[in-house]
Amino acid sequence: MKIEKMREKKREYGYTYAQIADLSGVPLGTVQKIFSGETQSPRYDTVMALERVFKEKMVVMEYTPAYQVSKKPGEYTIDDYRALPEDQRVELIDGYFYDMAAPTTFHQLMAGELYRQIANFIVDQGGDCTPFISPVDVQLDNDEKTMIQPDVIIICDAEQIIRRNIVGAPDFVLEVISPGTKRRDHVIKLSKYAAAEVREYWIVDPYQGRVIVYFFESETGPTIYPIDADIPVNIYDGELVLKFQRIAKWAKDEL
């Protein structure tokens, strides 16, 4: 794929340079130089890495409940979501269904370990917040077109917790990257969480050996940590520190 074609797709998909860098693994400065034309002859492996970003556009899985065959993607609601078979795992985002494959044991080990550390801290401190681990439905925008299942969340307002799901934005969200969710977590969900006023969002990416922390209450950009770091949780003013050494070992053994 030629660079000019990639520029067209960048405009079509609405990607920023930072998102392209995150998705491709190509350094941000390199991405900027290539797309601005400053770099005229980028390396072959760099072009291939960028090309994969645009060839693998986020796949929207359309499901049509039998009683509402006239609906189109973008028009589906939480009623449609709840009408799906119980064994059909999807997320509903802005009226579109996104397929959710069953998580791997590797994915669940990581999410479970981080949930354990969070839950232990909250219990030990006698805190008022409540942690949850997927699957739990989150009606993020408090509307009828979005219902998601983040890997780990923290809710500090008990009124948001109702019997069927969480209503409104969690205070803290953590997503563990899977190959099939990379673009959703880095692009769609990042935008949704920021707009919904989630306070803090973590992307744990064992495949690139890093954790990206967005603290939306700060005016600074994201902080990127190595996968084996001790990482403070901003909503707890750094008193809660998640330790990633075990996760780094699992990642090394798995990958």
* Mean pLDDT of the region 229-236: 97
Q: Are residues 93 and 202 in the same domain?
A: no
Q: Report if residue 217 sits inside a domain.
A: yes
What one-letter code names the amino acid at 140?
Answer: L
| Rounded Cα gap, residues 9 and 14, in angstroms | 8
Q: Are 211 and 202 in contact (CB under 8 A)?
A: yes
pLDDT in tens, 167-182: 999 999 999 998 778 8
Residues 78-129 pLDDT 10s: 998 998 887 778 899 998 888 887 888 999 999 999 999 999 999 999 999 9
**What pTM, to 2 d.p., does this model score?**
0.76
pLDDT, tens digit (0-9, with 9 covering 90-100), for 176-215? 998 778 878 888 899 999 999 999 999 999 989 999 999 9
State which of 44, 78, 99 marks the end of a domain: 99
For residue 157, what is the domain's CATH number? Answer: 3.90.1570.10
Work out the angle at residue 213's Cα, subtended by the Cα atoms of residues 201 and 96, and round it to the nearest 5 degrees: 40
Overall number of domains in the chain: 3
Contact 51, 1 (CB under 8 A): yes
